[in-house]
Structure 1
Amino acid sequence: MSEASVPPPSGKGLLLRLLRSLAWLLMIVAIILVALYLAFGPAHLIDRLKPPPPAFPATVVETPQAPATSPVPAASPAPALMQAPADSQELVALLMDSVEDIWGEFLARGDYVFKKPKLVTYRGQAQYPCKDAGATSGLFYCPRDMSLHLDLDYLDGLQKGAPEVGDFSRSYAVTHEVAHHMLNLVGINTWIKDFEDAGSESGGPERLQLAQELLADCLAGSWASYAQRKYGWVKPADVEAMLNAVITYGEEQAKVPGKAAMRDPLTHGSLEQRKEWLHTGFESGDPQRCMQLFTGAAQ
């Protein structure tokens, strides 16, 4: 007796099975696409493309050493603090080595790398290389090509104007401009520019510029917090006298007939504001404290 043969499936039944399989496949694809959209969709992508908020690497907290089990010999006398060279060009070279050591080590704690600014020294006046043409004097920083321009005559004038704090004044003026380079390296300049371009309700560009200048003061104070351990002319007690001397000299230079304008006259903000934020950096040594300027602390 021959085995009964199974009739082949009808065309209609095969089509239904194919449609059912296709429906399940489309459902799975839809679920996957929804999951991908929720994880990587435009809203999250825009968030990732936004500039990160200003940040600096956290300071390293030194762990206390275990007490010695053997008698500790008498500590040798601390080495004498270095004195500032009289020549402004030599002082600039000294300061540039110092900021590379201090900021380079600090940035190495985070995801940043210290890059030397292109140093340009001149006397009297120079053509302004950043945006527009024209003569300029004093000290200024160009973010576009990371160039630091230092007027040695201006530094000499700070020394002569108030000799008792002249070395500190010269150092502050240089490290304030270096601080603008630091802001450029960690992206804060771009962050501020994005706020300006977006018309952020943060008090207008004048307030942002003021916060940027006071932030540079605070970072100069952070540098000084470490530099005072090595340089005898960097003293917390002299901060107010030094700032007075710098602001007075900048105002005097701005009134000299025929003198080229200074792009950064170091007179932004009141004496009290500048003193407050320079002290904040000096006393804490922590640049993250300076970021309070962008949380409404700078009025």
Structure 2
Amino acid sequence: MPEKAAAPMPHKGLLLRLLRILAWTLILVAVACAALYLAFGPARLAERLAPPPPTFPATVVTSPDVLVISTPTPTAPPADSGELVALMLESTADIWGEFLARGDFAYKQPKLQLYRGQVANPCRAKGQFSGPFYCSEGMQLYLDMDYLEALQRQSPELGSFALSYVIAREVGFHVQNLTGVNGWIKEFRQQGTSAEKLATAQSLLSDCLAGSWISYAQRKYAWLRPGDALPMLEAINALNKGRGASLPPLRDDPSNIDVQMRGEWLDQGITTGDPRECTLLFTSQVE
């Protein structure tokens, strides 16, 4: 009886061709994955997300009707410092919100924390601190009511203007945070600019941004008198330098910066009402 013929084996050449195609497919997939990683991987992703130099809108609404809130215009500042704080935060939100809406930014209120005398471990810093200051982490605005009231007592003729300015200046740090200035500062630091120089420039930038706010807010609040800006800064410096050694250190103390220079930056903001001019001053300061 004849034997059954064995089943035919796959052609060896066909198997080799299939293996070669599979190998080239795997190589192409690996190359594509490597290209995607280089284009969109962590290193390039960090580069793509790096904040560009901050830019502010080119135009500002100058009609006071647009910037005025619905409450009646006060004839005098509130006697209570807490009411003044609330009024100034409402005003800064109105003006900066209206202004930043014309750019690529949205204004978000900082988280307010009122305290008296001292606060422990703010902004991830160990110890007790005092005075007004801003923490970019968590967007927290700390206002020391003892400090504000001491300023009002020391210079009653400038008190409401000085308090309003102090609050607007700290909000200026918040605006820097919202518009990417903090990321811009990191880039300057990576390029070798000293931390001290950057801290001074950032402090002056907040002076200028406070001036930009005053430029528009003075239409509504009669106690904001730009002509008193330099005496006001000198009064704040005197308060900061005259504090007793027993008091906790000020978290934000600009009294080490020349008061004339601070006055020039503040005046730039008041005169132009244009934060873009403030960023130009900032760039000239750190470059």
Unaligned stretches of 5+ residues in structure 1: 1-10, 19-24, 65-78
Matching residue of 1:129 = 121
1:114 aligns to 2:102 (yes or no): no
Counterparts in 2 of 1:133 and 1:37: CA distance versus 1, 3 Å? closer
Whether the aligned pair in 1 keeps the contact of 2:110 and 2:140 (CA below 8 Å) is no
TM-score by length of 2: 0.77
Q: Which structure has more helix as a fraction of its residues?
A: 2
Matching residue of 1:162 = 155
Matching residue of 2:6 = none
Matching residue of 1:55 = 54
Q: 1:277 aligns with which of 262, 265, 269?
A: 265
Counterparts in 2 of 1:240 and 1:177: CA distance versus 1, 3 Å? same
Matching residue of 1:98 = 91
Counterparts in 2 of 1:38 and 1:291: CA distance versus 1, 3 Å? same
Counterparts in 2 of 1:61 and 1:126: CA distance versus 1, 3 Å? closer
Whether the aligned pair in 1 keeps the contact of 2:57 and 2:100 (CA below 8 Å) is no
Pairwise CA distance, 1:117: 2.5
TM-score by length of 1: 0.74
CA offset digits 1:220-248 (Å, max 9, x no partner): 11110111000011112111111111111
CA distance, structure 1, for counterparts of residue 41 and residue 146 of structure 2: 56
Count of aligned pairs between the two proteins: 269
CA distance, structure 1, for counterparts of residue 43 and residue 59 of structure 2: 35
Pairwise CA distance, 1:187: 2.5
Residues 74-85 of structure 1: pairs in structure 2 closer than 5 A: 82-85=75-78
Whether the aligned pair in 2 keeps the contact of 1:140 and 1:148 (CA below 8 Å) is yes
Amino acid paired to 2:279: M
Matching residue of 1:201 = 192
Counterparts in 2 of 1:61 and 1:173: CA distance versus 1, 3 Å? closer
Counterparts in 2 of 1:235 and 1:188: CA distance versus 1, 3 Å? same
The CA RMSD over aligned residues, in Å, is: 3.5
CA distance, structure 1, for counterparts of residue 259 and residue 62 of structure 2: 37
Amino acid paired to 1:246: I
Counterparts in 2 of 1:44 and 1:237: CA distance versus 1, 3 Å? same
Matching residue of 1:67 = none
Counterparts in 2 of 1:190 and 1:132: CA distance versus 1, 3 Å? farther
CA distance, structure 2, for counterparts of residue 194 and residue 212 of structure 1: 14
Pairwise CA distance, 1:42: 9.1
Pairwise CA distance, 1:104: 1.4
Pairwise CA distance, 1:151: 1.2
Amino acid paired to 2:48: R
Identity percentage of aligned residues: 44
CA distance, structure 2, for counterparts of residue 46 and residue 155 of structure 1: 41
Counterparts in 2 of 1:153 and 1:115: CA distance versus 1, 3 Å? closer
